[in-house]
């Protein structure tokens, strides 16, 4: 496999671009500072079209759902291109508008292949393993279509955001459905237009657009609470950091940081060097925050700038 490395330059715009730490500018908030930008619009190496999601493996490798190019790109933590799979189609190495993905366990990459109505499982090197599709033999309340996001918990529980039926499905590691929640009969936990999900602190967090909010369930599907903030406009991807912060990417208002109690702490995304235009996903790895900007077809990198202690109620 050919390897490519990003050129380091802080004077000229190049595609892709990386601004070194010496050029970093502190964001308007106090918790993080802008470091670098990777990527550009296009269909080449380290270029994206309408990217929807990204995930980080424990070793720092990034996997990007390059939705408009119907592919997944892998990038090492130093910005080096490490391969891709995809192309329009329905074969084992083909995708149709891939959306959310997860690589957090370091062994597998699970992709919500949205318009093929399936979840596809690859190994960390993007070799095909299997697919999970809904079956007509399953109970109606456990079937899914147009999966928008997927997350594999540390305990091996698989959660899928079923955008067609506006609910979350919980599956076992073999892809067998166990339960659904957030549907029309969920009361306070009913999801109207769910966009993204993550599992953090033994809770399932789901962004919803109508109204803009974050709905929280336990891992058994029971409604827990709702996080509302005036700063949320069009929330999309979510990420938890250690046991301290919850981050929400909002395509209309930047990235929001909440504490473990759901209190809004700050918003960032208007720093010198990178102004977020349409933040659709966010992830954390070590002291870095990666933010995916769909409109700019870029990944902005931030660094935590203060000690991150657990908030006190």
CB atoms under 10 Å from CB of 37, counted, come to: 20
H/E/C letters for each residue in 228-296? CCCCCCCEEEEEEECCCEEEEEECCCEEEEEECCCCEEEEECEECCEECCCEEEEEEECCEEEEEECCC
More confident residue, 22 or 212: 212
- Give the model's pLDDT for residue 273: 60
State the pLDDT confidence band at 8, using cuts at 50, 70 and 90. very low
- Does 2 fall in a domain? no
SS3 of 114, please? helix
What are the phi and psi torsion angles at 96 (to 5°)?
A: -135, 100
H/E/C letters for each residue in 144-183? CCCEEEEEECCCCCEEEEECCCCEEEEECCCCCEEEEECC
Percent of the chain with pLDDT over 70: 87
State the pLDDT confidence band at 312, using cuts at 50, 70 and 90. very low
- Give the model's pLDDT for residue 174: 81
Rounded-to-integer distance, Cα 227 and Cα 39, Å: 32
More confident residue, 135 or 109: 109
Nearest Cα residue to 238 out of 268, 200, 281: 281
- Give the model's pLDDT for residue 271: 63
More confident residue, 312 or 226: 226
| Average pLDDT of the chain to the nearest whole number | 88
Query: What is the per-residue pLDDT across 234-271, written as a single tens digit (0 to 9) for each?
Result: 999 999 998 899 999 999 999 999 999 999 999 998 76
- Does 15 fall in a domain? no
- Give the model's pLDDT for residue 224: 97
- Give the model's pLDDT for residue 12: 32
The tally of domains found in the chain comes to: 1
Q: Which of 42-51, 125-134, 261-270 has the lowest mean pLDDT?
A: 261-270
- Does 68 fall in a domain? yes
| C-alpha separations of 303 from 95, 201, 251, 283, 306 in Å | 33, 22, 20, 12, 9
Rounded-to-integer distance, Cα 157 and Cα 85, Å: 25
Statement: residue 15 has pLDDT above 90: no
Q: Are strands 47-48 and 40-41 parallel, antiparallel or unpaired?
A: parallel
- Does 5 fall in a domain? no
CB atoms under 10 Å from CB of 109, counted, come to: 27
SS3 of 232, please? coil
SS3 of 67, please? helix
- Does 242 fall in a domain? yes
Beta-bridge mates of residue 131: 120
Statement: residue 13 has pLDDT above 50: no
Kindly state the tokens that stand for 4: 């490519």
- Does 6 fall in a domain? no
Whichever domain contains 129, its CATH number is 2.120.10.30
Nearest Cα residue to 121 out of 142, 107, 139, 141: 107
> Up-side HSE of residue 29: CA atoms within 13 Å toward CB?
21
Query: What is the per-residue pLDDT across 133-166, written as a single tens digit (0 to 9) for each?
Result: 998 899 999 999 999 999 998 888 899 999 999 9
How many H-runs (helices) and E-runs (strands) does the chain carry? 0, 29
DSSP 8-state code for residue 189:
G
| 192: containing domain | 21-304
- Does 16 fall in a domain? no
Rounded-to-integer distance, Cα 236 and Cα 105, Å: 22
Percent of the chain with pLDDT over 90: 77
Q: What angle do CA 8, 37, 126 make, to 5 degrees?
A: 95
Find the distance separating the first CA and the last CA of the chain, reported in whole Å: 51
What are the phi and psi torsion angles at 293 (to 5°)?
A: -105, 110
With tokens 């399932």, the residue in question is 204
């Amino acid at each position: 496999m050919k390897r490519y490395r990003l050129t380091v330059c802080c004077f000229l715009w190049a595609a892709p671009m990386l601004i070194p730490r010496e050029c970093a500018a502190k964001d308007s908030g106090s918790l993080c500072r802008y470091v670098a930008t990777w990527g550009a619009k296009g269909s080449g190496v380290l270029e994206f079209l309408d990217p929807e999601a990204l995930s980080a493996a424990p070793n720092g490798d990034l996997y990007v759902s390059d939705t408009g190019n119907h592919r997944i790109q892998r990038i090492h933590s130093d910005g080096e291109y490490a391969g891709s799979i995809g192309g329009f189609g329905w074969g084992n190495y083909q995708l149709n508008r891939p959306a959310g993905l997860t690589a957090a366990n370091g062994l597998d990459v699970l992709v919500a292949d949205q318009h093929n109505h399936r979840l596809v499982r690859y190994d960390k090197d993007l070799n095909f393993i299997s697919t999970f599709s809904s079956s007509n033999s399953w109970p109606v309340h456990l079937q899914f279509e147009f999966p928008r996001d997927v997350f594999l918990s540390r305990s091996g529980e698989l959660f899928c955001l079923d955008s067609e039926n506006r609910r979350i499905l919980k599956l076992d590691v073999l892809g067998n459905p166990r339960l659904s929640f957030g549907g029309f009969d969920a009361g306070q936990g009913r999801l109207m237009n769910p966009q993204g999900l993550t599992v953090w602190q033994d809770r399932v967090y789901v962004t919803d657009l109508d109204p803009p909010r974050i709905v929280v369930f336990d891992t058994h599907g029971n409604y827990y609470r709702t996080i509302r903030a005036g700063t949320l406009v069009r929330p999309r991807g979510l990420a938890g950091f250690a046991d301290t912060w919850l981050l929400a990417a909002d395509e209309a208002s930047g990235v929001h940081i909440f504490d473990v109690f759901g209190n809004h702490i700050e918003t960032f995304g208007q720093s010198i060097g990178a102004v977020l235009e349409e933040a659709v996903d966010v992830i954390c790895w070590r002291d870095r925050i990666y933010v995916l900007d769909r409109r700019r077809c870029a990944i902005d990198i931030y660094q935590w700038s203060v000690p991150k202690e657990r908030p006190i109620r």
